[in-house]
Amino acid sequence: MAHIEEHKETHTVQKEKQNYVMLDLGKTPKFGMPAFIQVVKRSLSLELLKGLGVTFREMINALFKGKMHTTKYPFEKLPISPRYRAIHEMLRLLESGHYRCIGCGLCEKICISNCIAMETRYDENQRKEVSQYTINFGRCIFCGYCAEVCPELAIVHGGRYENASEQRAGFSLFEDMLTPIDKLKEQKEFAGFGSISPNADENIKKTPLAY
Amino acid sequence: MEEIENNGLISLTIDGKRCVAKEGEYILNIARANGIFIPAICYLTRCSPTLACRLCLVEADGKRVYACNAKAKDGMNVVVSNEEILEERRAIMQVYDVNHPLQCGVCDKSGECELQNYTLEIGVDEQPYKIADVKRESSNWSSVLHYDPALCIVCERCITVCKDMIGDSALTTGPRGGKGLDKELKDTMPKDAYAMWNKLQKSVIVPSNETNQTNCSDCGECIAVCPVGALVSRDFMYTTNSWELSKIPATCAHCSSGCQIYYETKPTGIANRDEKIYRVTNEWNYVSLCGAGRFGYDFENRTASKDANALKKAVAAIKKADAVRFNSIITNEEALMLQTLKEKFGLKLLNSDAKAFKDFMTYFSNAKGATLWDGNIRTMMQESDFIISVGSAIRHDNPNVRYLFNNIQKLNKGAGLYFHPIGDKVIENLGKNVACIANKINSEEAVLYWILDKFADKEKLPAEVKDYLASLSTVTKKTITETIMEDIIETVIDEATGESKEVTKKVPKKVNKEIEVNTSKLLEMFGAPNDFADTVEKFLAKKENFSLVVGEDLYFHPRSKNLAILVALIESATPFNVAIIPPKTNSLGVSLICDLDDECSGYIVGYNEVGDFRLSALGDGDLDMPAMNQQEGTLTNMHKRVVPTNAALSYNGYTLNDILNELGIGKRLTIDWTKELPVKKGFEAREFDSLPNGYNNDGSENRGYGLKSQRVKIVESLPKEISLNEMSAELIAYRCNPQRQFNEFTATAHQIFEPFALYVSEEKADELGDRVVIDLEGTEFVLDVKIDNRMSGNIVKLPDFKHSFEIYKFFGQNRFKSISIRKA
């Protein structure tokens, strides 16, 4: 409730602060004759051609001077902000190539649309292995909590926003999201949601070690 | 402060709150019972204080004490926390966090970890201490236990529970090999934190038998009590986080103890969203489970489907049937449904275990004048200091009775006598004051008469019994050698003066003396060892609160009627609290609800038993039934309580209620039968949904409701004289399931693997070889021979948990049977 009250308050404050200025548009003609004269004046002052001139200039620029403004999607794509939240990616450790996910289950827990599920097991190397991992993209609202909570920076939001398909299940398994092993070199450290802040070192107190 | 007199109650103030408690109770327990929080890691209710963690430091009347082992005094004022105490506690938690691996992400305990909780609660946000760690390798201790010493905080709860509650004493502390603490720390850091750390740095937990495998019952109670992720079940390890599991309160359906458990479920996997039980947990401060309860949970009927055709056949079979054969692993509601079938269709009800028990209880109540026994196992555990167990292999029949037996030794400084023809090495070692008496087979009458002779208030005994006991006792003369001090007068000549002087000296001298000894023939009758009388005298010193538990051997006994009357007489004429242990899960409920019949022939519908048409919760019958973890209902346990159990898993088939609905006598739901349970037999007309299933903070049971003992007319209360049916045969078999195996459901569970085999002691195994053919009245079985290294003697144990072997039929009204055997 308190939250709603607060919201109402800021709303009224904004209203009071608004300071509109009326443009001087002259007088609107009230009778037939003055109105007709206004139409004729506006039509014959060649304002139309001014506008057409701008269009023509830009057409020449685009066609002959190589200054095209349109992006040829889907052949071209605009760069997106690292903070954009599209289909998730699963990152690998750069040194070993092993996937980073440790199966802690925090993403599964924090997911507010309850769309992450995983299976883990005790593997032959006495480690916790993620045997299955999936995100139901039919339910995912791309809030980014999973990426934020991940202690290993393993699950991150990638830039793949084109997820129109017959079935979204096609990009929801662990293997689909995991960086392909041959593309490991191209894997970039994630700078968006949940990544470590540049001044992280300043914010922590180091534990003494006896070594 | 006002005094509360006469009933041993005192009042004290803890954290500003006035609490009333029993004298001699620990401060921590009083605080917990009154909802006051005192941090503590190492203390376990019902076990002795360990004093490993030192977190429960409080100030009582200005003096620093540990709440877990300081006894409350009248008018005491306890301060739970002040600046110095908080400083100590923070230092203790800081020390616990030193070198604790930061692998909460993969740790099974994360989310329910006491180290995590207390670190946050006490507000550890920095780490001032350090020490070099040593490599500590994790290992598997048994088929179920996994121990990771790196995660262990050596609170010793596992050791404590194994010793004080379970009785295996399978764990102890061993050297860690860590470096000693810096001596300077002693002066600079808080005192208790230093002492705790000093001890912690020296030890880890190891199996007590100096191997890397524990010699234990695989009950997993150490896993339950572990505050961190050091001890986990091998099967559960890394399969799920604790917070993903939903806890379903239920009642364990394996033995008559009916322990409260939680089935913890979550979907099986990504592809299969059906719920699966991942583990069973318990309120370990108030109830301890056995291996079957903890690990035998996946016995559900998975394949069941609504097969309308099979249902029709079942209905036809019931109409046609002469009898229904079932066992006691059913709910009270199902028992009532079967009783309704009997009443409407004139079916006979056959149930081997409940029939014997019902007969015994009928004789018992006819002698006593009331339907139930008076003893309560939970109060016995708290108060009793002398326990006798007769006629039950408690390690197999009912692990909670074994825990009771052990707990009395360890916590109440008690003594115990375990009467059983088969020796048990675990029971033997439960305490200094425990004697296993291998009484002769079927000589339990003599044992019960001996209890009367020894403990009964002779005024309360009927004259006939008094005379009989007198006729059995003989006064013999016995010569004993006694050492006495004798005065000797010596004449000493003083050398200086030459005078002779008489001096009196005391000299020890051995004298033979004849004394009169009152011996009873009873001892000879049940085969007491020679020193029996002396042992009992020694055990009885300073004992005040006596308990007797009697078990299945007495119900399956040629003289069970006389035994029942004797038990009733012991209850009325001696100071003993008596508890009667029902043989199977719900034998008590079935025996109260159903009118059971003698064995008969004809067309028989078997419910989890042999029959011409089989209803089965095991998935192998003609019509599927829900298993105990798939249905709601109530069970009547040995604590004389009617306790609810819930469905943990979905069930897709028909239930017994559906069959009754087809017959036109059903109800909408199975649990609609709960309020119909017979009030005349001691049940209450209560709705299923009104039944609680938990424990209160003070440890009292808040589960279901207690059965009410009903008055009945005294018919026959005079015991007959002893008639011994001695068994003399080459080989005698005892009908007894292996530890952790109680019935066919436990046998289905994937973590319980004790096979259907002949269990023998080590010495007998050499004689028998690996495989034998057993001849039971013409029917031959080939069984493996398994060594049970915890039993001794020549008697062998033959399990009854597989219905298809029809072991009950062969054994009849006796748990012992002579069998012939040859090597396969």
A177 near A171, Cβ under 8 Å? yes
Q: What number is the average pLDDT over the span B709-733?
A: 89
Return phi, psi of residue B820, to 5°: -110, 150
Closest-approach residue (CA) in chain B for A120: B239
In the beta sheet, which residues pair with residue B633?
Answer: B645
Interface test with A, best of B98, B102, B106 (most A CBs within 10 A): B106
Pairing of strands B203-207, B171-175: antiparallel
Pick the CATH number of B365-580 from 3.20.20.70, 3.40.228.10, 3.40.50.920, 3.30.1440.10: 3.40.228.10
Q: What number is the average pLDDT over the span B685-695?
A: 95
Calculate the average pLDDT of chain B: 92
Q: What number is the average pLDDT over the span B235-243?
A: 95
B413 near B599, Cβ under 8 Å? no
Q: What number is the average pLDDT over the span A102-123?
A: 94
Architecture of B732-823 per CATH? Beta Barrel (2.40)
B707 near B682, Cβ under 8 Å? yes
For residue B303, the model assigns a pLDDT of 83
Q: Which residues of B touch A126 (CB under 8 A)?
A: 138
| Residue range B142-155, pLDDT digits in tens | 999 999 999 999 99
Closest-approach residue (CA) in chain A for B241: A105
For residue A16, the model assigns a pLDDT of 62
Are A129 and B238 a contacting pair at CB < 8 A? yes
Interface test with B, best of A115, A126, A174 (most B CBs within 10 A): A126
Return phi, psi of residue B188, to 5°: -95, -30
pTM: 0.88
Closest-approach residue (CA) in chain A for B244: A109
pLDDT at A201 over 80: yes
Q: Which residues have CB under 8 Å from A161's CB, separation 6+?
A: A80, A84, A86, A87
B247 HSE (CA, 13 A, CB side): 12
B168 near B411, Cβ under 8 Å? no
Q: How far is CA B814 from CA A136, B540, B736, in A?
A: 61, 32, 12
What are the start-end ranges of the E strands in B40-82? 57-60, 63-66, 77-79
Q: Which two tokens stand for residue A7?
A: 């919201």
For residue B491, the model assigns a pLDDT of 74
Domain A88-196 in CATH 3.30.70.3270: yes
Q: Which helix (H) or strand (E) holds B287?
A: none
Comparing CB atoms, the residue among A109, A120, A127 nearest residue B239 is: A120
pLDDT at A106 over 90: yes
pLDDT at A192 over 60: yes
Chain A interface with B: residues with Cβ < 8 Å: 102-106, 108-109, 117-122, 126-129, 132-134, 151-152, 205, 207-211
Comparing CB atoms, the residue among A109, A118, A133 nearest residue B243 is: A109
> Of A175-179, B400-404, B574-578, which gets the smallest average pLDDT?
A175-179
* SS3 annotation, A92-139: ECCCCCCECCCCCCHHHHHCCCCCEEEEEEECCCCCEEEEEEEECCCC
Q: Which residues of A touch B240 (CB under 8 A)?
A: 105, 120
Closest-approach residue (CA) in chain A for B128: A208
pLDDT at A10 over 70: no
Q: How many whole angstroms separate alpha carbon B786 and alpha carbon B788?
A: 6
Comparing CB atoms, the residue among A129, A151, A209 nearest residue B105 is: A151
Q: How many whole angstroms separate alpha carbon B544 and alpha carbon B563?
A: 25
For residue A48, the model assigns a pLDDT of 79
| Cα-Cα end-to-end distance for chain B | 78
B794 near B764, Cβ under 8 Å? yes
B:136-195 residues touching chain A, CB 8 A cutoff: 138
Are A104 and B104 a contacting pair at CB < 8 A? yes
Where residue A3 falls among pLDDT bands split at 50, 70, 90?
Answer: very low
For residue A68, the model assigns a pLDDT of 85
For residue A160, the model assigns a pLDDT of 85
Are B270 and A119 a contacting pair at CB < 8 A? yes
Q: What number is the average pLDDT over the span B449-456?
A: 94
Closest-approach residue (CA) in chain A for B104: A104
- Read off the DSSP letter of residue A179: P
Are B270 and A102 a contacting pair at CB < 8 A? no
> Of A36-50, B165-179, B619-633, B700-714, which gets the smallest average pLDDT?
A36-50
Range from A113-117, B334-338, B726-730 that averages highest in pLDDT: B334-338
For residue B781, the model assigns a pLDDT of 86
Return phi, psi of residue B775, to 5°: -105, 110
**Of B733 and A27, more confident:** B733
Interface test with B, best of A100, A104, A206 (most B CBs within 10 A): A104
Closest-approach residue (CA) in chain B for A103: B106
Comparing CB atoms, the residue among B131, B239, B271 nearest residue A121 is: B239
Domain boundaries, chain B: 9-215, 231-295, 365-580, 732-823
Contact with chain A for residue B129, Cβ under 8 A = yes
Q: Which two tokens stand for residue B68?
A: 């877990």
CB pairs under 8 A between A and B: 60
The b/e string for B719-741 (b: 16+ C-beta within 10 A; e otherwise) is: beebeeeeeeeebbbbbbbbbbb
Q: What number is the average pLDDT over the span A25-42?
A: 86
For residue B728, the model assigns a pLDDT of 76
Three-class secondary structure of residue B706 per DSSP: strand
Q: How many whole angstroms separate alpha carbon B63 and alpha carbon B525?
A: 58
Where residue A162 falls among pLDDT bands split at 50, 70, 90?
Answer: confident
Are B239 and A127 a contacting pair at CB < 8 A? no
For residue B160, the model assigns a pLDDT of 96
Closest-approach residue (CA) in chain A for B103: A104
C-alpha distance from A83 to closest chain B C-alpha (Å): 25
Q: Amino acid identity of B781?
A: F
Residue bearing tokens 């180091």:
A206
Q: Which of B296, B289, B242 is nearest to B264 (CA)?
A: B242
Cα B508 to chain centroid distance, Å, stands at 51
For residue A49, the model assigns a pLDDT of 86
Cα B793 to chain centroid distance, Å, stands at 24
In the beta sheet, which residues pair with residue B519?
Answer: B474
In the beta sheet, which residues pair with residue B772?
Answer: B783, B823
Q: Which residues of A touch B132 (CB under 8 A)?
A: 210-211
Three-class secondary structure of residue B735 per DSSP: strand
Q: How many whole angstroms separate alpha carbon B376 and alpha carbon A209?
A: 55
pLDDT at B446 over 50: yes
Q: How far is CA B70 from CA B24, B78, B681, in A?
A: 9, 11, 45
For residue B496, the model assigns a pLDDT of 65
Q: Which of B721, B711, B722, B715 is nearest to B367 (CA)?
A: B715
Are B240 and A120 a contacting pair at CB < 8 A? yes
Q: What number is the average pLDDT over the span B450-476?
A: 91
| Alpha-helical runs (H) found in B228-279 | none
Q: Which residues of A touch B269 (CB under 8 A)?
A: 119, 132
Q: Which residues of A touch B244 (CB under 8 A)?
A: 105, 108-109
B100 near B129, Cβ under 8 Å? no
For residue A7, the model assigns a pLDDT of 47
pLDDT at A9 over 60: no
Q: Which residues of B touch A207 (CB under 8 A)?
A: 127, 130
pLDDT at B289 over 50: yes
Q: Which residues of B touch A119 (CB under 8 A)?
A: 269-270
For residue B283, the model assigns a pLDDT of 95
Where residue A20 falls among pLDDT bands split at 50, 70, 90?
Answer: confident
Residue bearing tokens 């049971």:
B701
Domain boundaries, chain A: 2-64, 88-196
Angle between helix axes B352-368 and B560-573 (nearest 10 degrees) is: 40
pLDDT at B664 over 90: yes
B:81-120 residues touching chain A, CB 8 A cutoff: 104-106, 110
Residue bearing tokens 């009964």:
B456
Angle between helix axes B191-200 and B83-97 (nearest 10 degrees) is: 20
Q: Is the dihedral of CA A195, A201, A204, A206 positive or negative?
A: positive
Q: Is the dihedral of CA B360, B361, B362, B368 positive or negative?
A: positive
Q: What number is the average pLDDT over the span B470-483?
A: 79
Q: Amino acid identity of A101?
A: C
Comparing CB atoms, the residue among B106, B126, B237 nearest residue A103 is: B106
Q: How many whole angstroms separate alpha carbon B419 and alpha carbon B436?
A: 6
Q: Which residues of B touch A117 (CB under 8 A)?
A: 267, 270
B205 near B174, Cβ under 8 Å? yes
| Residue range B64-89, pLDDT digits in tens | 999 999 999 999 999 999 999 999 99
- Classified by CATH at the fold level, domain B9-215 comes out as Ubiquitin-like (UB roll) (3.10.20)
DSSP letters spanning B164-221: III----EEEEE--PPPPPTTHHHHS-HHHHHHHHHHTTEEEEETTSSSS--S----H
Comparing CB atoms, the residue among B234, B238, B243 nearest residue A128 is: B238
Pairing of strands B386-390, B546-550: parallel
Q: Which of B639, B635, B608 is nearest to B622 (CA)?
A: B608
A161 HSE (CA, 13 A, CB side): 11
Q: Which two tokens stand for residue B30?
A: 């009083």
pLDDT at B4 over 50: no
| Residue range B91-127, pLDDT digits in tens | 999 999 999 999 899 999 999 999 999 999 999 988 8
Q: How many whole angstroms separate alpha carbon B417 and alpha carbon B203?
A: 36
DSSP letters spanning B739-799: TT--SHHHHHSTT----S-EEE-HHHHHHH-SEEEEEETTEEEEEEEEE-TTEESS-EEE-
Cα B653 to chain centroid distance, Å, stands at 34
Where residue A2 falls among pLDDT bands split at 50, 70, 90?
Answer: very low
Are B238 and A119 a contacting pair at CB < 8 A? no
In the beta sheet, which residues pair with residue B485?
Answer: B508
What share of chain B in percent tops pLDDT 90?
A: 83
- Read off the DSSP letter of residue A66: S
Q: Which two tokens stand for residue B598?
A: 């003698």
Residue bearing tokens 């009248």:
B74
Return phi, psi of residue B528, to 5°: -70, 145
For residue B101, the model assigns a pLDDT of 93
Closest-approach residue (CA) in chain B for A104: B105
ipTM: 0.82
What share of chain B in percent tops pLDDT 70?
A: 99
Q: How many whole angstroms separate alpha carbon B222 and alpha carbon B249?
A: 21
Contact with chain A for residue B769, Cβ under 8 A = no
Interface test with B, best of A100, A116, A120 (most B CBs within 10 A): A120
Q: How many whole angstroms separate alpha carbon B578 and alpha carbon B374?
A: 6
Pairing of strands B732-735, B796-798: parallel
Rg (chain A; Cα; Å): 29
In the beta sheet, which residues pair with residue B512?
Answer: B481
Q: How many whole angstroms separate alpha carbon B3 and alpha carbon B775?
A: 71
